[in-house]
Amino acid sequence: MKRLFKRNRTTPKNIRPINAEVVPWLIAALMLVTVPHLPRLPFWTTFFVLAIVVYKLLTLKYPKLRPGRMVVIILTAIGIAAVMLQYTKLFGRDSGVNLLVLMLFLKLLETRSYRDGMVLIALTYFLVITNFLYSQSIPVAFFMLFVVGFITFCLISLNQGKAGISLAEKIRLTAPLLILALPVMALLFLLFPRIPGPLWGLPDDVYGAKTGLSEEMTPGQISQLAFSDDVAFRVKFNGTPPSPAQLYWRAIVFWDYDGRTWRPGNDARRSQPVVSTSGTPVEYTVTLEPHQRRWLFALDLPVLDSRAKPPSPGHYVLTPNMQLLSSKPIISLSQYRIRSYFNYRLGEKLTKRERTRALQLPPYRNPKAIELANEWRQTIRNPADIIDTALRLFNRDFTYTLRPPVLGADAVDEFIFNTRRGFCEHFAGSFVFLMRAAGIPARIVTGYQGGEVNPLGDYMLIRQADAHAWAEVWLDGRGWVRVDPTTAVSPARIQLGLDAAIPARENPRFLLRRDNTFFNHLDLLLDSINNRWNEWVLGYGPEMQNLFLSRFGVQNPRAYDLVLWLTVSLGVTLGLIALISLKRIPNKNRDKVQRYYLKLCKRLAHAGYERRPHEGPQAYLKRIKGTDPELGSRLDTVIELYAELRYGPERLPANVVRLKQLSDQVKLSVNPDQRKPRKAAM
C-alpha cells in the first residue's frame, strides 16, 4: 500500500511546479462551476467530489499524503464504472456531465505542475458550457459570467509564479480582460451567421420531459397543472386583445375513450374538413416555451396563411382536427405568427367513420349515465335541447375544485351521481360521455383558456395553470360546435380566470398573487425582463438577426456578407482594444530607463558578469558584490536609481538623464582573455 503513495510525491526538477497558494483558488473555481450540477448528480458523485476536495487540501499541508499515479488510475476506473452502472452509457448529457465532473476533480487530485493547472483551468472553462444544456435563464447566464471571471482570476494567479501579486492587483488585471472581451462577444453574437435549429446534434437526453399538457387525459391530470405557475407561452396581438371568453387556445383533440383515459387516436386517413369563416381575423405572434412535443397553440379557429411568417406554413401543418402541429418537437424557444377566426363553421358533413368514433363508448361501464342519456334521447328530440339539459344538470349541486376525489372504474357514474366535485376534465369528460350515450357525436379538446395581460411588455401571458378542457359536439347544419360545460358550473373561470374561480383555501399561492399588488407587479416585471431575454437572446435566430440588421438598412444579408462584416468589425474592435492597451505600455522615460539599464548589463556581461534571466537588479548587484566588492560599490547608486525609476511612482526626466550619466561613469576593465562574455555559473 505504501508504494501507491510513494511515487510522484515531488515534482521533477525539469517541470515548473504549481504555486501552492493557487490551489485553493482552483478548488473554489471548480466548486462554483459544479454547484448548479449538484442537484442533478447522484449522491455518490457529490460525496466523491467532496472527498477529493478534502483530501487535496490535506495534501497541501502534508505533502507525503500525495497519491501515486496508480491511485489516480484506480479511482478513474471506479468513476467510469460507477457512471456506467448509473446511466448504462457514457455518451449523453447526464452521463457525460457526471463523467466530466469526476474527471475534473481527479485531475485536481494529481495537479502538481504549472501545466496541470493550465489543463485544469481549460477544462473548467468547458464545464461552464455544460450548465447551459439544462438552463439558459438569466440567473444561470449571469452566474456563469461571474464564474468565467473567477476562472480568469485563477488563470492570472497561476501565471504569477511564487512571486505573486496582491489580491487587489489580480482583480484589477481580471476586470479589464472581461470588459475588453464584451464587445468581441457582442459582435460574434449579433453578426455570426445563424442557421435554423441547433448548431450541432445533441444526445436524446438533453431534452428531458417537461410539465404541461399530455397526449392522454385522465380525471385529475389537468388539475395538477393548476398548481404550476410556469409559463406555457406568451402572445402579442396585432391590436386589441380578444375578450376572455374568446381565449380558447386549441391544442389536442381526443376521440378514443377506454372508460378511464381519453386518447387522440389515429386520424392519418381523414381528410381536411370544409371550413368557412367570416368576420375580421385576429393576428398574433406566439412565443412558445419548449415542451418537447409537436403541438402548437392557436385560438379557435386557426387558419394557414402565406403571410403568417415566421415560420413559414411549411414548418407546421393543420390536421383534420384543426390541431396545429410542428414538423419537429419543440425543443427550444420557438416563435410563430398565426391568424384565427372567431366566426367559423367547422365541417359540413360527418363521415361514417367519424360518426362511429365520435359515438364510441366502452362496454359495461357507467350504466347509470347511459340510462340517464337514453331517457334524454327518448324524451327530447332536438340535440341542442339535450345539450342544454346536460348543462343545467352541471349547474345544480356541482362544485368546481382543484382537489377532486379519486374516482373508481365507473368514473362518470361516480362523478355525476356521487361526488359531484371536479375540475374541467371531469366536466368535459362526463359531458362528452353523456352526449355520446344520447346519440350526439362529441369529442374533447384540451389546451389553455384565458391569459394574463402584462402591461409592462404589452403581451399576454399564458401559464400552465391556465390548462383547460372543453367539448365539441356535432350538430347537423352547424358542424363541430364548442361547448364548455365548465361555464355551467363556474362562469368566473372563463371570465375572470382560475384565480377567481377557486376558493383561496385550496391554493394559497393564488391568494398571494391576487391580493398582493406588490408581489403581482414584481412577478410581471420579472416576466417582462425574461420575455425580452427570450426574444433577443434565446430566440435570436435567422429571423431575429434579419430584423436587427434591417434597422441599419441591411435587408436579407447572405452568409458571405455576414462573415465579411463580422471580420471587418472584429478587426476594427481589436484595433481599438490594441490602442487602449498601448496606453498601458510604459512611457518614453521608462523605455529609456530600461534601455540604459540593458546597455549597462551588456557592458557588465563583456566584463564577465552576465545577468541571469531570472535575476532582478538587486539580486544581480548582490552577486557582483560577492565576486568584485569594488565594482559592486560603484554600481550601488546606479542600481538603486534604476530600481526607483523602474518600479517607483515617479519617473522625472531629470532622474532619467542622471541614470544615463551614472551608468556611463562606471568604468569596466576587460582582460584580453575575456573578449567573449563569460557565462555566469549556474
d(CA 91, CA 97): 9
Give me Rg for the CA atoms of the chain.
37
The catalytic residue among 424, 426, 466, 527 is 424
Contact 445, 469 (CB under 8 A): yes
Contact 45, 186 (CB under 8 A): no
Contact 400, 356 (CB under 8 A): no
Q: What does DSSP assign to residue 217? A: B
d(CA 40, CA 488): 45
d(CA 520, CA 528): 12
Contact 225, 465 (CB under 8 A): yes
The catalytic residue among 116, 410, 484, 499 is 484
Q: Is 601 a catalytic residue?
A: no
- Of how many residues is the chain composed? 682
Q: How far apart are the first and last CA of the chain?
A: 40
CB atoms within 10 A of CB 295: 24
Grid cell of 65 as nine digits: 499524503
Report whether the peptide linkage leading into residue 367 is cis, meaning its omega lies within 30 degrees of zero: no
| Side chain identity, residue 37 | H
Q: Which residues pair with 402 in a beta bridge?
A: none
Grid cell of 297 as nine digits: 397553440
> Residue for cell digits 382560475?
498
> Which of 462, 412, 465, 407 minimizes the C-alpha distance to 437?
412
Contact 446, 383 (CB under 8 A): no
Contact 120, 104 (CB under 8 A): yes
d(CA 424, CA 400): 8
Q: Is 468 a catalytic residue?
A: yes
The catalytic residue among 37, 291, 426, 468 is 468
Q: What does DSSP assign to residue 610? A: P
Q: Is 484 a catalytic residue?
A: yes
Contact 493, 400 (CB under 8 A): yes
> Residue for cell digits 363553421?
345
Helix (H/G/I), strand (E/B), else coil: 496: coil
d(CA 615, CA 360): 93
**Which long-range contacts (C-beta less than 8 Å, at least 24 apart) are formed by 238-244?**
238/282, 238/283, 238/284, 238/285, 239/282, 239/283, 241/453, 241/460, 242/282, 242/299, 242/342, 244/450, 244/494, 244/495, 244/496, 244/497
What backbone phi and psi angles, to 5 degrees, belong to 460?
Answer: -105, 135
> Which of 265, 270, 248, 247 minimizes the C-alpha distance to 318?
270
What backbone phi and psi angles, to 5 degrees, belong to 98?
Answer: -60, -45
Contact 215, 252 (CB under 8 A): yes
> Which of 439, 430, 462 minimizes the C-alpha distance to 381?
439
Residues carrying an active site annotation: 424, 468, 484
